[in-house]
Amino acid sequence: MMKIVVFHGSPRKGNTYLATKIFMDELSKYGDAEIAEFFLPKDLPDFCIGCQLCLGGMREKCPNTRHVTPIFDAIINADALVFATPHYGACSMPASMKNLFDHMDFLMLNVSPREEIFNKKAFIITTGAGSTATIKPINKTLKHWGINRVYSLGLRMYTNKWDKMRATRQTKYEKSLRKSAQKFYYAKKKPPYLSTIFFYRISKFILKRFVGEGNHPYELWKEKGYFKKRPF
Ligand SMILES: Cc1cc2nc3c(=O)[nH]c(=O)nc-3n(C[C@H](O)[C@H](O)[C@H](O)COP(=O)(O)O)c2cc1C
């Protein structure tokens, strides 16, 4: 049984939703899948207010905990995460998707490394009229969480509606989605990314040099032995 959490970055059930449906349909063919879906912004309607309580180790005190906690629990308990989002302008993702990453920033491994995160795989699906650049910041964020493997597929539509794409392109994209879903389903845990190891080392240096004893997350790292041995 694979537990999968899907985050839909746009409330419009358009191109990205359709692409994600094809992907999830294929994924479900390879074995039992327990799927939880979050629709943004409906399931996380309030913006992060920047109070930094979560970054100080008090995640439960987030003023939006009513929405954040079910999402956090779903992430922690999942085997695989799917982030489905259209590409929006220079900032690259809809505010609703960015709001999810703002609220989950405490998952960054320099703040509070969590063993549960290091075994997970993630998939980013994005559609754009011509750009798929939103993959890059999401990919980087997930690697900084310590997600073991991050896969992605970006679809350039050259139109605003799936049905308006040439039939050959529709077929090609459906095939890519199904192939990616199969690959994702069978993807096994691999050694950590070099960039994740590098981020861990930099974090360790910064915590020792600039944060120090008695402060969060230095004490958490110390208590869990992360200064001596990397947790992934
Ligand atoms: C506010 C907004 C900004 C967008 N900016 C871009 C952009 O900069 N580059 C691009 O290729 N597509 C852009 N698009 C087009 C969407 O990414 C594209 O139509 C996508 O497939 C829509 O996905 P959806 O049907 O799931 O909403 C933008 C769309 C919106 C609504």
Q: Which residues contact 96 (CB under 8 A, 6 or more apart)?
A: 9, 10, 11, 40, 41, 44
* pLDDT mean across residues, the chain: 96
Which pLDDT score, from 0 to 100, does residue 112 have? 85
Q: Kindly state the percentage of the chain with pLDDT values over 90.
A: 96
> What is the per-residue DSSP string for 85-140?
EE-BTTTBS-HHHHHHHHHTGGGSTTT---GGGGG-EEEEEEEESS--TTHHHHHH
Residue entry with tokens 């309607």: 45
The minimum-distance atom of ligand 1 relative to the CA of 13 is: 26
Who lines ligand 1 at CB under 6 A?
10, 12, 14-17, 86-89, 127-131, 157, 160
Distance 131 CA to ligand 1 centre (A): 8
Domains and CATH numbers, the chain: 2-189 (3.40.50.360)
Segment 178-198 mean pLDDT? 96
Which residue of 6, 87, 173 sits with most ligand 1 atoms within 8 Å of its CB, as the best mutation to test the pocket?
Answer: 87
Distance 133 CA to ligand 1 centre (A): 11
Residue nearest to atom 26 of ligand 1 (CA): 16
Tell me the C-alpha distance between 13 and 95, whole Å. Answer: 16
| Model pTM above 0.95 | yes
Residue nearest to atom 8 of ligand 1 (CA): 89
For helices 95-103 and 135-145, the axis angle rounded to 10 degrees is 10
Q: Which residues pair with 156 in a beta bridge?
A: 128
Segment 181-189 mean pLDDT? 97
pLDDT digit string, tens, across residues 145-154:
999 999 999 9
Distance 127 CA to ligand 1 centre (A): 7
pLDDT digit string, tens, across residues 70-117:
999 999 999 999 999 999 998 799 999 999 999 999 999 999 889 999
- At residue 227, does pLDDT exceed 90? yes
Which pLDDT score, from 0 to 100, does residue 91 have? 79
Which pLDDT score, from 0 to 100, does residue 161 have? 94
| CA distances (Å), origin 66, targets 40, 54, 69, 74, 230 | 15, 14, 6, 13, 32
